Amino acid sequence: MSGGNQPTKSFVIENSLQSYFYTQLQEFNEKSLEPLPNETIYYSSLVMDKFGDAGKYFETIEGKVRDKVLGTKLLEASQMTREKKKRTLKDIGDTALLICGFFSDSLNKKIIDTKYYQELGQTAYRHLNSEVPSAYDIPSFFKILSFRFDQVTTVMSLVSEKTLNQGIDSDSAYLIVSKKIAG
C-alpha cells in the first residue's frame, strides 16, 4: 500500500564502497571532453573508499580527535624517514583531494578555501612523485595526478552532489564537467 505521493527509496547494491565510487566516477568521467585515465579514476575511488572510515579523515593527538593540519604536516615531511615521508605525503595529497572533491561545500564561508587545499594536495603529490616515480605501471603517476588535480576534484564533486542527493543527473553532468575542465 503505497500512496502516489510517497517518495520512493532507492538502494544501491555494490560489492564495495570502492566499487560504487569507481562506477560513479567513471560515469561522469566518460562525459568529459578530456577524460581522466582509468588508473586515475581507480586511484580516486580508492581514496574515497579509504575515507569511508571517518577515523582516517581525522587524527588523534594526545587523546584528542581533530582535523589534520595538512600545511604543518607538509612542512614536517621533509624531515621524516623515506617510508614515513611517503606515507605522510600520500595522506596529505589524498586528504586534500577528498576535501576539494567530495567535501568542497564544507569549505564555504571558511577562511581557508579549496584553493589552499588544492595547492597543498598538488605539492604533496609532486613531492611524492620524487619518492614513488611510478605507480600503476605509469611513470610519474603522482606528478600527473598533481597536474590534473582540479579535473579529478571536479569529477569527485559531481559524484558528491549525486551521492548526497543534491539533484544532479548524468545528462547534465556532461555540461558541468566540460565547462569546469575547459574553464
For 134-172, what is each residue's pLDDT tens digit? 999 999 999 999 999 999 999 998 988 887 765 545 444
How confident is the model over 49-56, as a mean pLDDT?
73
pLDDT at 11 > cutoff 80: no
Better pLDDT: 103 or 170: 103
Q: What is the DSSP string of 130-181?
A: HH--EETTEETHHHHHHHTHHHHHHHHHHHHHHHTT----HHHHHHHHHHHH
SS3 60: strand
pLDDT-derived band at 3, boundaries 50, 70, 90: very low
Q: What is the pLDDT of residue 121?
A: 97
Cell of 18: 570502492
| Opening angle at CA 105, ends 104 and 109, nearest 5 | 110
Which sequence spans correspond to the domains of the chain?
17-168
Q: What is the pLDDT of residue 1?
A: 45
pLDDT at 7 > cutoff 60: no
pLDDT-derived band at 108, boundaries 50, 70, 90: low
Per DSSP (E only), the strands in 13-124 are 58-61, 64-67
Question: Alpha-carbon distance 92 to 14, whole Å?
Answer: 28
Q: What is the pLDDT of residue 62?
A: 75
Of 53-57, 61-65, 78-82, which one has max mean pLDDT?
Answer: 78-82
pTM: 0.78
